[in-house]
Amino acid sequence: MRNHLPILLVVVPLIAAPACLLLGNRRLIYLFSLVVAWLTFANSLRLLATVLVSGKLRYNIGNWAPPYGIEFVADPLSAFVAMFVSGMAAAVLAYAPRLVEVEIPAEKQHYFYSLYLTCLTGLLGITLTGDLFNVFVFLEISSLSSYALISLGKDRRAVLASLQYLFIGSIGATFFLIGVGLLYQVTGTLNMLDIARRLQELEIVNGQGIVMLASTRTLRVALAFMTVGLGIKMAVFPVHKWLPNAYTFAPNVVTCLLAATSTKVAVYVLIRLIYGIFTLEFSFDLLPMRYELILLSFLGIFTASLAAIFQSDVKKILAYSSVAQLGYMVLGVNLISAMGLSGAIVHMFNHAVIKGALFMVVGCFALRLGSVQLEDWRGAGKRLPWTSFAWVLAGLGLIGVPLTAGFISKWTLLLALAQEETWFLAGALVVSSLLAVVYVWRVVEVLYFGQPSQKVLEAKEAPLSMLVPTYGLILVMMVFGFWTEYSLGIAQQAAATMLETATMLKEVAK
């Protein structure tokens, strides 16, 4: 049973998704998918516990030995990402039913739950698979279901945003596929570990005589294609245009799920690619990827934070803030130190929790006020005290105030920058957090110091069934703000394993 955990994580929601459509009753479908989501979360916790105790877990699908068969690999990093992805999916689903009733037409609700589980399948598949082509397939499973989920939004602009996301997302996925093809062309294998090993060992004959495979141009092109493709999927600065509209016009429940999980999974693939397949020397010495990505992440942090400050739609504020926060993760990945990498990994987790909580608050307001325009939220602090206070708490986390989880990740990144003695960048990181203060404060000011709008006067407090999951996530955020053994601790272990892989591969070459 324990050995089958990696595959169970993917197979259970995959089978449950079509099974949802067979159950006739809406209530029943909801309960069924809720059970499946929490079961998946429980499985992922067990998987994480197993991996942390006994190390890497490899699972051959259909008992075909790799590299001929496809294998699933659970190491600390992938188990950690799978844990918070399934955890957030379970939490959002527990929060969802009231909003789904209001936001999604009755005849489409069973499709919603089915698509939700399909999306979860894709996201978990990406984290656990050890096969590069499989990553592409799962990437498309999760993307296609998220296009459909976004288009469930009531506003007609949701469909437009979804289609625009589809076009740019397909370009991203196809770019990734080109990269996989080029890699396969030179290594003859799709298994990640096998590719990594062969890149270090193989030599080829070209115009300059016998050279290492790793020094050929094909490989550089492959890495470039894959990085750009993943960059589109994770909405890194210059290719982030799809994200604000997709997040804004999607149903609130869908935004909660996507904001908390999908972009992080793309960051995970980037980490795996840079550290686990290509080595550090290749990614950062042969290609000047490091400086470009650090530059882009800082440009992203600043432009997106500034854009967030001037939005009048709260969902857009948070969407732009997501682009900015993603910059922090990409920054951490490219610092190469153990500290920087663990900062990036822990920020994936912390930001998933914080952004999930914030979008849940938005959902509560949307349910009671029927609007996500900042204008309509005026003076809600008195009429919806619990919901408003949840925004304040989660907002503090987003800024990175001490005693919240957001502080831990930003502090780790700051230490990593200090370690490299890049004081200019460290200063920029602090300044960028001040921008977050501005856009979080704008909403707080409207909530507590504005004259109540007409909509607020008619509204009452959000239902308990939605406040409890929201405060649950906020509690998680607070707890991991000072007790970091299971967030930063695991992230450090995951970073250490990834760096070990990188050095191990170097040893193989010698």
Partner 1 sequence: MNTVQFFGLFNYWVVIFLMMVGFYMIIARHNFIKKVIGVNIFQIAVILMYITMGKIHGGTAPIVKSEIAQHFAHHESHEDDSHEHTSSDGSKAEEHPFVDTTVYSHPLPSVLMLTAIVVGVGTTAVALSLIVRIREDYGTIEEDEALAMDRAQS
How far apart, in whole angstroms, are the C-alpha atoms of residue 322 and residue 244? 9
Label residue 265 exposed, middle or buried (CB < 10 Å: 0-12, 13-18, 19+).
buried
Nearest CA to 93 out of 62, 114, 107, 73 is that of: 114
Q: Total number of residues binding partner 1 (CB under 8 A)? A: 25
Least distance from partner 1 to the Cβ atom of residue 443, Å:
20
Min dist CB 343 to partner 1, Å, is 34
Convert 287-308 to b/e letters by CB count within 10 Å (16 or more is b). Answer: bebbeebbebbbebbbbbbebb
Give min distance, CB of 157 to partner 1, in A: 6
Site string for partner 1, 77-116 (x = CB under 8 A): ----------------------------------------
Q: By C-alpha distance, which of 318, 188, 326 is closest to 247?
A: 318
Determine which residue in the list 114, 121, 151, 252 makes contact with partner 1, applying CB under 8 A. Answer: 151
On the question of a cis peptide bond just before residue 67, with omega within 30 degrees of 0, the verdict is: yes
From the CB of 173, what's the least distance to partner 1, in Å?
A: 8
Nearest-approach distance from CB 249 to partner 1, in angstroms: 10
Task: Let me know the angle formed at the C-alpha of 273 by 271 and 279, rounded to the nearest 5 degrees.
Answer: 100
The reply to whether 148 sits near partner 1 by the rule CB under 8 A is yes
Per CB under 8 A, the list member of 3, 25, 185, 454 interacting with partner 1 is 185
The neighbour count for residue 3, using CB atoms within 10 Å, is 11
Angle at 376 between CA 370 and CA 382, to 5 degrees: 95
Return the H-helix or E-strand segment holding 72: strand 71-74
Residues 127-146 that bind partner 1 (CB under 8 A): 133, 136-137, 140, 144
Q: Could you say whether residue 510 binds partner 1 (CB under 8 A)?
A: no
Give the C-alpha distances (Å, rounded to integers) separating 85 from 91, 121, 464.
10, 10, 24
Q: How far is the CB of 376 from partner 1 (least distance, A)?
A: 15
Pick the closer one to partner 1 by CB: 144 or 256.
144
Q: Binding string, 155-174, against partner 1, x = CB under 8 A?
A: -xx-xx-xx--xx--xx-xx
320 forms part of the interface with partner 1 (CB under 8 A): no
Nearer to partner 1, 2 or 157 (CB): 157
We find the least distance from the C-beta atom of residue 160 to partner 1, in angstroms, to be 6
**Residue 313 near residue 372 (C-beta atoms within 8 A):** yes
Minimum CB separation from partner 1 for residue 220, in Å?
Answer: 17
Residue 437 burial (CB < 10 Å; 0-12/13-18/19+)? middle
Q: Which is nearer to partner 1, 243 or 345 (CB)?
A: 243
Q: Which residues bind partner 1 (CB under 8 A)?
A: 133, 136-137, 140, 144, 147-148, 151, 156-157, 159-160, 162-163, 166-167, 170-171, 173-174, 177-178, 181, 184-185
